[in-house]
Amino acid sequence: MNQDWSAGYVVESGYTFGVYPELNPVRAALPLLLKGLRVPKIETACELGFGQGCAAAVHAATQSDIAWWGCDFAPAHAVFARDLVTASGADARLFDDSFDEFAARPDLPDFDFVALHGVWSWVNDAARARIVDFLRRKLKPGGLVYISYNAQPGWAVAGPLRHLMKRHAETLGAPGLGAAANLDAALQTMQRFFALDPVFSRINSNVVDRLQSIMRQDRQYLVHEYMNRDWVPMWFAEVEERLSAAKLSFATSAYMSDHIDALNLSPDMMDFLSSLPDSTLRETFRDFAVQAQ
């Protein structure tokens, strides 16, 4: 079957099932207020790339005063998400559209809140440009965007491992076996290789620990994390610069634990970061300080 429509994304197995609380616009109020920022009134919300739609369905069911929309280009995801919405009696408009198709819908409203989880780092530059264009045209002035992405430097160790996984699957894998079986074969080869104590792992001592951690993770998650054609961890400054084309600026972290500096930083590190006058540079150094992922 021709799967050019997938644009290199793994579609032979469904995405994992999960509800991520940061996708809930109601939760955005506290971190914004902690930074002294205005909290927008959320009447229309959208999730780009909703996966199985668990979060979109839950939030639509629990927030009847918000009109929920969303798209995911995988038909199986859209069918499951619609079934969830129907079962709950919620009102959400979820489509198996690409970003371009979704943006072109004549009945699509402008949004107060747009969320992207597990999307930005797993699509190509052209798709990222379409996301930025969507946000520029469809987010209301003063609206809010939640975006998650694989951040540097936290994914620096995983990058070489991902390259080995992907190259092994592409050169020695059998398409008929499926992505999960080919991934397992790659991981077994990598285990044998690193057991021989290559210079790379002697210099980068935590790479073996990272590989062992990967071995213990759910294979469905690993396939969607590592085996797509595109996988691009980014620096904070790079994401900020790209989103600035949509007239967006960084507000704050959506993760509440990030707001308690004493949990993450030493007093000396807090003093150092506060001494940096540029917010982008400060966030970049902070990502190093906490090994942000």
Residue 2 pLDDT: 46
Structure tokens belonging to residue 59 = 């939030």
Residue 1 has pLDDT above 50, yes or no: no
Residue 8 has pLDDT above 90, yes or no: no
Reduce the DSSP state of residue 68 to 3 states and report it: strand
Q: Return all residues near 239 (Cβ < 8 A) that are at least 6 apart.
A: 120, 147, 149
Reduce the DSSP state of residue 74 to 3 states and report it: coil
Q: How far apart are CA 142 and CA 65, in angstroms?
A: 19
Residue 93 has pLDDT above 50, yes or no: yes
Across the chain, which distance is largest between two alpha carbons, in Å? 60
Phi, psi (deg, nearest 5) at residue 94? -120, 130
Indicate the CATH number for domain 4-149+234-244.
Answer: 3.40.50.150
Amino acid at 66: I
Summarize pLDDT for 39-57 with one digit per residue, the tens: 999 999 999 999 888 999 9
Residue 7 has pLDDT above 60, yes or no: no
Residue 287 has pLDDT above 90, yes or no: yes
75 with 144: CB under 8 angstroms? no
Q: How far apart are CA 134 and CA 246, in angstroms?
A: 8
Domain ranges, ordered by start, for the chain: 4-149+234-244, 158-226, 265-290
Give the containing element (helix H, strand E) for 191: helix 179-194
Structure tokens belonging to residue 195 = 């057991």
Q: What is the mean pLDDT of residues 92-97?
A: 94
Q: What is the mean pLDDT of residues 19-31?
A: 92
200 with 160: CB under 8 angstroms? yes
Find how far residue 291's CA is from the centre of its chain: 17
Q: Provide the 10 A C-beta neighbour count for residue 163.
A: 12
Residue 9 pLDDT: 59
Summarize pLDDT for 155-191 with one digit per residue, the tens: 999 999 999 999 999 999 988 888 889 999 999 999 9
Q: What percent of the chain has pLDDT over 70?
A: 95
- Identify the band that residue 103 occupies on the pLDDT scale cut at 50, 70 and 90: very high
Residue 59 pLDDT: 92
- Identify the band that residue 18 occupies on the pLDDT scale cut at 50, 70 and 90: confident
Reduce the DSSP state of residue 234 to 3 states and report it: strand
Q: How far apart are CA 37 and CA 30, in angstroms?
A: 10
